Amino acid sequence: MKSSPLLLCFLMAATTALAGFDLATPRAPVAAKKPHDVTVHGDKRIDDYFWLREKGSPAVVSYLEQENAYTEAVLAPAQELRAALYREMVGRIKEDDTSAPVPYLGYAYYTRTEKNKQYPIYCRRADRAGAAEEILLDLNAMIGAHTYIAVGHYRVSDDGRRLAYSVDWTGYRQYEVFVLDLATHALVPQHIGKVADLEWGAGSDVLYYVTENDAKRSDRLHRWTLSAAKHEQLYEEKDELYNLGVRKTRDGRYLLCEAASKITTEVRALRATDATGQFKILLPREENHEYHADFREGRFYFVTNRDAKNSRVMTAPEARPADWTELVPHRPAVKITGLELFKDYLVLAVREDGLPHLEIFAFATGTLKRLEMPETAYEVEPDRNWEYDTPELRFNYQSLVRPPTVYAANFATGERRVIKATEVLGGFDAKNYRSERVWVAARDGVKVPVDLVYRAELDRSKPQPFYLYGYGSYGVSIPDSFSSARVSLLDRGIIYAIAHVRGGGELGEEWREAGRMERKMNTFNDFVDCAAWLVQHGWTSPQQLVTSGGSAGGLLMGAVLNQRPDLFQAALVQVPFVDVLNTMLDATLPLTTEEYVEWGNPNLKEQYGWMRAYSPYDNLKPAAYPHLLVLVSYNDSQVPYWEGTKYLAKLRTVKTGANALLLHATMGAGHGGAAGRYDALHDVARNYAFFLTALGIAR
């Protein structure tokens, strides 16, 4: 029998004394200490757990398996809760479902799912009455003996004859490329590996692709002429701060190869019909100049931060790409985050006051108009718009209380229609939930936006269980997105919130710069200040406050917990970047050198000092840390599994108190966790059960 939310709130109070982790019977694994000197710049550091980096070692695998067994034993009392959460979450999704169809060259392309099948099926259907469905890729059939499968790139040639797609078989985000003949559904015999990006030239005989080196830096651009089985390297990017990408403009006229660091870009262009030519630089790179290029109707268009902190739009004739004319001027309060070009319109994705917006520029009239959104906090972004000459913009809208909906908005009139609204089953009604934004003054007076969602009837007169999430790096704006799984927490009386701390991009480029390099500490201080404010203003209490973050957000968690371990009851630390110094000092590791302009270069003593001050692994201390569940993935190429593993092993040697310190290692996946949708929900159920147990909520 289902319990009502109000009954669940009662159960929360009634079961607090009974709930908890089983810490009496199982014994936590003890990682062997093997001192390894990692001293740099005269700063004496001994790493006892450096040996855990030995991927493939039987001792490492055995240790991870012991940690997994221990975590399952400690969480054993919550097995029924986990099962109930999983049933609820599956019960809200439409298991047999179809994505919004994307029109292109007389076909509608879409994915669909089938009940009890883990992976999507990629399909198309001709745009005519009675046309039969064509299955192009069925990942459920393709996975075979592999334990992981995910599609990376998916490109239909502009003559509609071939599909180029890439597959990751391990979770390491290392993609193998295949080409499918869409008439016969036969694969072209040759395929290529370690591909980071790809794009068709004109027609379906020439494919451009970018490969990555052993450190997973995308550094080489190639051309593959399929009919001649010929591969040729066109360009190698030797600067270790830069990665390459390749794409084709929507009108099909140009291929663009962008070399990008975290703060500088350079774009090369080649006519799509020129199957033997070389890419030519549009504007040479200049330090701290970020620009992105596009093309339509004989002109290049640029989003640039030159003399415009939050970017402006410039345009230039095809023959003179450096001869710029301003089209959309810089607006200091508005950050341009993206540009979409169509035959008669330009669409800007922008952010203002911490919120995303879409703006439409009409070339015929020279007017810029913003699409209105119905809520005060939400997420909106262009959806898949494959066609160039179209009267409509497809965009995706959602919020913390409203499931994703794909709309088509008429460029000229603004009138919009629903293409696909995500159905949430199980009696979900958005009117039962409330979302709001508060602004928190950080310790230096800067206001930080925090977005919250909770049950509408929740008693706000007293502190409530609270889940605070954060990220705050790379200029990434964390979306106020909907989660049907999260409803299981909201219906148990938990408030969920996102703290949009500095280092992210929510309030423009200044917000990003205020939380990187020598000012990175602002990110951690902001999050602590937001949590403390929520306690001070009666939203919650330290005994009712749980938190999480992943990847760079895992760095956030580690730094925050070192600063204020007393402020939280529990933390979920996901694929965490916590061994900052050791990782950034090893240039052979994936993604390390290119991030010198995000965190700093620890080979330089001053910049080493910035990172030394907050590196979670190096600043663990004797303290009563909250309950912790640390998640790592064995095939993670972004943050190696050993970072979180070492972190927890060391934490057990210094922490005081008796709280649970748990590690779960996913052995067959990468940075994003499980690829199968049911496997992913099992993981969410485990994580939620951990939080609920820590909060004393047993049902």
**Catalytic residue ranges:** 551, 636, 671
Q: What is the largest CA-CA distance in the chain?
A: 75
Helix, coil or strand: residue 435: strand
Positions of E strands within 601-653? 627-633
Positions of E strands within 79-217? 97-98, 102-104, 107-113, 121-126, 133-138, 150-156, 162-168, 175-181, 192-200, 206-212
Alpha-carbon torsion angle 545, 549, 554, 559, nearest 10: -40
Tokens of residue 105, six digits: 């060259």
Q: What H or E segment, with its residue span, contains residue 665?
A: strand 661-666
**Which residues, other chains included, contact 105 with Cβ-Cβ below 8 Å and sequence gap of 6+?**
156, 158, 160
With residues binned 3-state (H G I as helix, E B as strand, rest as coil), the percentages for the chain, rounded to 5, are: 25, 35, 45
Parallel/antiparallel/unpaired status of strands 192-200 and 175-181 = antiparallel
Q: Which strands make up the sheet holding 175-181, listed edge to edge?
A: 150-156, 162-168, 175-181, 192-200, 206-212, 218-225, 230-236
Alpha-carbon torsion angle 318, 321, 326, 330, nearest 10: 130
Parallel/antiparallel/unpaired status of strands 466-470 and 379-382 = unpaired
As a whole number of angstroms, the distance between CA 142 and CA 383 comes to 27
As a whole number of angstroms, the distance between CA 614 and CA 610 comes to 7
Tokens of residue 377, six digits: 């906090």
DSSP 438: E
**Which residues, other chains included, contact 79 with Cβ-Cβ below 8 Å and sequence gap of 6+?**
none
DSSP 226: G
Nearest Cα to Cα of residue 614 among 486, 503, 448: 503
Tokens of residue 558, six digits: 């580690």
As a whole number of angstroms, the distance between CA 489 and CA 467 comes to 9
As a whole number of angstroms, the distance between CA 108 and CA 126 comes to 6
As a whole number of angstroms, the distance between CA 413 and CA 409 comes to 8
As a whole number of angstroms, the distance between CA 122 and CA 107 comes to 13
Residue type, position 60, single letter: V
How far does CA 189 lie from the centroid of its chain? Answer: 34
Query: How many CA atoms lie less than 13 Å away from 134 in the CB half-sphere?
Result: 16
Nearest Cα to Cα of residue 583 among 635, 639, 630, 632: 639
Q: What H or E segment, with its residue span, contains residue 258?
A: strand 254-260
* Cβ-contact 310, 329 below 8 angstroms: no
Q: What H or E segment, with its residue span, contains residue 271?
A: strand 265-271
Alpha-carbon torsion angle 632, 633, 637, 640, nearest 10: 40
As a whole number of angstroms, the distance between CA 578 and CA 559 comes to 8
Tokens of residue 538, six digits: 């009666």
Alpha-carbon torsion angle 466, 472, 477, 481, nearest 10: -20
